[in-house]
Amino acid sequence: MQNLETHIKNTIRDVPDFPKPGILFKDITPIFYNQELCSAITDDFIAKLPSKPDAIVGIESRGFLFGFLVANKLGIPFVLVRKAGKLPYKTVSYEYSLEYGTAKIEMHEDALQKNWNVIIHDDLLATGGTAEAVAVLVKKLGANVAGFTFVVGLNFLNGKNKLINHSNNITCLVQY
Ligand code: AMP
């Protein structure tokens, strides 16, 4: 049987020029066709955690998938971070800069308790801008960033440099 890293890499589909010319999109959706692979990925994320966190915070929308599976298997809360205007209850928000313009993300204000140690999860680490913004939001609620987990890391974009100020516990199951 191939190792997990090879299996993930062989399953991810490269889609050139999506969503715009020049971007090689790493499409993780075929992973979800394979229950055994999803289970192995969930277990690997858990095995790589230095200690049990108080919650997993997942980033809309692909960060909800393994984020929730990991949280549920650990028996801890899963918290959704969404783009502004999507969450129904009272929220805290954070606006951050993108290459062009800005983006705003939100979390329910009662989602995290003070001093909780949380893991921030997304499918892919590119420039790190999104995960860093989530780290700021987590800290706004008085919780601690215990680490970041991603299925894929695009090392050539140096996203880890942005996250290291918040936690140096950064896991990418596969890297390019
Ligand atoms: P960033 O804030 O630059 O780290 O971008 C991370 C977010 O953008 C993640 O939620 C990814 O899903 C998405 N993303 C950025 N680049 C890619 C790519 N090449 N393939 C797939 N998703 C990407």
> Ligand 1 centre from 129 Cα, in Å?
9
pLDDT at position 55 is 99
Rounded distance, CA 162 to CA 129, Å? 7
Confidence category of residue 2, pLDDT binned at 50, 70, 90: confident
Exposure of 57 by Cβ count < 10 A (0-12 exposed, 13-18 middle, 19+ buried)? buried
CATH, domain range 52-175: 3.40.50.2020
Confidence of residue 99 (pLDDT cuts 50, 70, 90): confident
Ligand 1 binding pocket, CB closer than 6 Å? 23-26, 59, 62, 122-130, 159
Give phi and psi for 161, each to the nearest 5. -60, -35
CA 139, chain centre distance (Å): 16
Strands 144-153 and 170-175: parallel
Q: Are the C-beta atoms of 151 and 145 separated by less than 8 Å? A: no
- The reported pLDDT for the residue numbered 33 is 98
User: Which of 40-44, 83-87, 90-94, 98-102 has the least mean pLDDT?
Assistant: 98-102
Distance CA 76, CA 100 (A): 36
Query: Model confidence at 1, in pLDDT bands (50, 70, 90)?
Result: low
Sign, CA dihedral 138-60-150-95, equals: negative
Q: What separation in Å is there between the alpha carbon of 130 and the centre of ligand 1?
A: 8
Domain ranges of the chain: 52-175
